[in-house]
């Protein structure tokens, strides 16, 4: 185990590079909005460093700009970021059950959509050192991007800034699609999710539900339906990955990871 720590960390670094670059672009847009909301470069940078959440920070800016109450801010963060709880829930099953509290506290900091995305893609158990590697490149990307956005956001043409806003969604699709190709149940539930999400965004009455709440409700309802119709068997999905990794590790003495 001791030997593999550095390997895990390096693989985390490697897989974290695209995330760090993507974050750089996305948080640049965030930095521009921080400036508009009246935050200094230091305040914006610290906010990104200690929060590490795109949707949550964008929403917080609206609240800070309106000088709303702390309670309102806390509730908005709870609702928008509640999806991280589902992700941590899933990760709690992906780490070694014997993993100590210290490491659990450590990897909790880095539970973001993208780091979670590459973490669930790991074969077998998730090593905390893999997460630390990803965090080590993703966090500088996110904070530096925010800083640059505040300092030089108005230097860039609007056209470029609006093009960069697509980066985040491109990354999400890059996580979803390979899995959807491999597991048709995932593909089906994602197609239903696209339709349901669009309907909920535009139909009267339900469109008044906030974005964060819509994400939570649809995630819980659709994942539960999928779990009831197509339960993950011992032969498919995560189980298969785990067994395949175990066999492979026994054969070659090293784990394969997806880049």
- Joined together, the tokens standing for residue 233 give 């068997």
231 binds other proteins (CB under 8 A): yes
d(CA 87, CA 101): 18
SS (H, E, C) 149-182: HHHHHHHCCHHHHHHHCCHHHHHHHHHHHHHHHH
Binds other proteins (CB under 8 A): choice among 12, 31, 117, 124: 117
247 binds other proteins (CB under 8 A): no
Print the binding letters for residues 139-178 with other proteins: x by CB under 8 A, - otherwise: --------------------xx-xxxxxxxxxxxxxxxxx
Those residues whose C-beta lies under 8 Å from the C-beta of residue 138, and which sit 6 or more positions away, are 16, 19, 20, 23, 52, 110, 112, 114, 115
- Joined together, the tokens standing for residue 98 give 């014997």
d(CA 197, CA 172): 15
Binds other proteins (CB under 8 A): choice among 3, 101, 155, 205: 101
d(CA 22, CA 61): 21
Stretch that binds other proteins, among 3-11, 145-153, 208-216, 242-250 (CB under 8 A): 208-216
- Joined together, the tokens standing for residue 120 give 């669930």
Smallest distance, Å, CB 152 to other proteins?
Answer: 18
43 binds other proteins (CB under 8 A): yes
Terminal CA-CA length for the chain: 22
Binds other proteins (CB under 8 A): choice among 66, 85, 152, 203: 85
Stretch that binds other proteins, among 4-12, 14-22, 132-140, 147-155 (CB under 8 A): 14-22
Stretch that binds other proteins, among 4-12, 102-110, 144-152, 249-257 (CB under 8 A): 102-110
d(CA 126, CA 4): 12
209 binds other proteins (CB under 8 A): no
Instruction: Show contacts with other proteins in window 22-41 (CB under 8 A).
Output: 22, 25, 38-40
Print the binding letters for residues 59-78 with other proteins: x by CB under 8 A, - otherwise: -x--xx--x--x--xx--xx
Smallest distance, Å, CB 253 to other proteins?
Answer: 25
């Amino acid at each position: 185990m001791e030997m593999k720590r550095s390997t895990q960390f390096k693989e985390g670094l490697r897989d974290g590079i695209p995330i760090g670059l993507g974050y750089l672009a996305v948080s640049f847009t965030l930095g521009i909005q921080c400036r508009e909301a009246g935050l200094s470069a230091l305040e914006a940078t610290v906010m990104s460093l200690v929060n590490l959440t795109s949707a949550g920070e964008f929403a917080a800016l609206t609240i800070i700009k309106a000088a709303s109450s702390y309670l309102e801010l806390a509730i908005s963060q709870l609702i928008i970021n509640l999806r991280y709880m589902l992700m941590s829930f899933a990760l709690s099953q992906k780490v070694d059950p014997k993993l100590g509290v210290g490491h659990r506290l450590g990897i909790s900091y880095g539970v973001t959509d993208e780091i979670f995305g590459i973490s669930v893609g790991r074969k077998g158990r998730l090593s905390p050192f893999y997460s630390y590697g990803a965090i080590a490149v993703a966090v500088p990307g996110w904070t530096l991007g925010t800083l640059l956005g505040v300092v030089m956001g108005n230097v860039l043409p609007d056209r470029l800034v609006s093009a960069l806003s697509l980066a985040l969604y491109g990354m999400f699709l890059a996580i979803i699609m390979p899995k959807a190709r491999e597991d048709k149940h995932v593909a089906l539930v994602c197609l239903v999710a696209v339709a349901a999400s669009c309907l909920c965004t535009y139909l009267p009455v339900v469109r008044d539900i906030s974005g964060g709440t819509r994400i939570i409700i649809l995630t819980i309802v659709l994942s539960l339906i999928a779990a009831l119709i197509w339960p993950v068997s011992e032969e498919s999905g995560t189980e298969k990955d785990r067994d395949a990794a175990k066999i492979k590790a026994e054969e070659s003495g090293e784990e394969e990871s997806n880049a």
